[in-house]
Structure 1
C-alpha cells in the first residue's frame, strides 16, 4: 500500500497540468523572460520575449583605402512555444515546437573612410569618398523546433533547464546603400540578396532560470 501511494505521488509529480513558472533566460538569442503553464499532464505552453542587441567594430574592410567598420545586429521577438514530454521514463527530455514573431531582426555593416583617398593626382576627402552600408532584415514570423533538457517544472521553488533548437526565419531582404565614390556599389544589392537568401536559421542555445509560481 505504501509503495503504491509513493508511486502515485511520483507519477503526479511528473505531470505538469496547472503548474506555473516564470522563466528568465540567456543564450544565443539574447536575454528574455517567459511565463509557462501546464495545459496537459505532459505538455506545457510558454509565452515570452527575447532581445539581443550586439555590435562589433572593424570586422569588415573595403580594399583600397583605410576605413572604420561597424557590424551590428538587433533582434527582438515574442514567441509561443509548446513543451511536450514524450517518454514517461525520461521526464527531463522535452520536444519543443512553436513560432515567434520577430519585431526586429536586422543586421548591418557600416563602412566609413578614416582619411583621404588618393587616386593618382586626385585626392578625395572623407565626404567625397562616402559611406557604405549593407543592410539585412529578417522581420516576420518564424517557426521554431528543438528539444529541451531537464524538467520544465520542479517541486522546488527554483530550477534550471536548457533549450536547444532553431528558428527558421523568413528569407531576408538585403540591400546596399552608399554615397560618394562608393555609391556604385549599390548595384550589387541584387547579388547580396542572392548570397544571403539561404541564411535563415537562427540557432538557439538557451539556459532557463525558472521560478515556480504557487
Structure 2
C-alpha cells in the first residue's frame, strides 16, 4: 500500500511539474490599439528575441468638412472648408537596447495608401475697389488638393514594450515618416482663375513638407 502511495505521489509531482512548465511557456504575441497623429490604429506585434520585436499596424484618420470662418490672409478675409484623411500600414521593428528598461528604438516602412488634405477657400464678403463692388460669387473660389503616397521610411523612439511583460501594457512613441514631395492640384474659378497658374509655386513651397509626424499612445494585450 505504501508503495502505491509513493507511486501516486511521484506521478502527481511529475504531473504538477509538467503543468507548471506548460504554464511558464512565454507568450510572444500582442494585440494593441493606438491613437495619435496617424489616427486610430490596430496593431499586431510578435516578440522575435528578448530585445527585438516585429509588428504590423493599420492606421486611419478622417476629418471631414472642417470649417474656419473669417480667416485673414494678408488683407483678405476668407472662409476655409477643409477635409483631411489618411490610411497608413506600418511594417516595423522595435529594438529595446536595455534589459530592464522599456525604452525602445523603432524603424520600418509606412505604406501611404492615402494621405490627403483638401482646402476650399472662398471670400467671406464682397470686395470694393473705390465705387466698384465685386460680389464674392463673382470673385470665385480656390480649391487646393495635396496628396502624399508611396512608401515612406520612419524612425522613432518611445517607451513601452510591444509585447508587455504583464497581460496589459501601455506605451508612447515619437517619430516621423520621411516622404517624397506631395502631388498638388490647384484650381480656381471666376476672377481667381489666374491663381491656378501658381500650382508649381505651391508645389515648391510644399517641398519642405517631407516629414509627417508620427506620435502614438498605445494599449497592448499579450496573448
TM range (shorter): 0.7 to 0.9
Counterpart Cα distance in 2 of 1:149 and 1:63: 43
Aligned to 2:83: 72
Q: Deviations over 1:126-174 (max 9, x none)?
A: 4321111222211221101112212222232211011111111121122
- 2:221 corresponds to which of 207, 211, 214: 211
- 1:44 equivalent among 46, 53, 58: 53
The residue number in structure 2 matching 1:168 is 178
Instruction: Call closer, same or farther: CA 1:59–1:49 in 2, change over 3 Å.
Output: farther
Corresponding position: 1:83 with 2:94: yes
Are 1:110 and 1:133, in contact at CA under 8 Å, matched by a contact in 2?
yes
Q: Post-superposition shift, 1:62?
A: 4.7
Instruction: Tell me how far apart the structure 1 counterparts of residues 74 and 50 of structure 2 sit (CA, whole Å).
Output: 60
Partner of 1:151: helix, strand, or coil?
coil
What is the Cα deviation at residue 121 of structure 1?
4.3
**Which 5+ residue runs of structure 1 have no aligned equivalent?**
1-12
Shift in alpha-carbon separation, 1:150–1:59, aligned structure 2, 3 A: farther
Q: Which has the higher helix share?
A: 2
Alignment correspondent of 2:117: 107
Q: When the two structures are superposed, what TM-score results if normalisation uses the length of structure 1? A: 0.81
Query: Which entry has the higher C-alpha Rg, 1 or 2?
Result: 2
**1:49 and 1:76 in contact (8 A); partners too:** yes
- CA 158–118 in structure 1, closer or farther in 2 if over 3 Å, else same: same
1:115 deviates by 3.5
Give, in whole Å, the separation in 2 of the partners of 1:66 and 1:41. 58
Give the count of matched residue pairs: 197
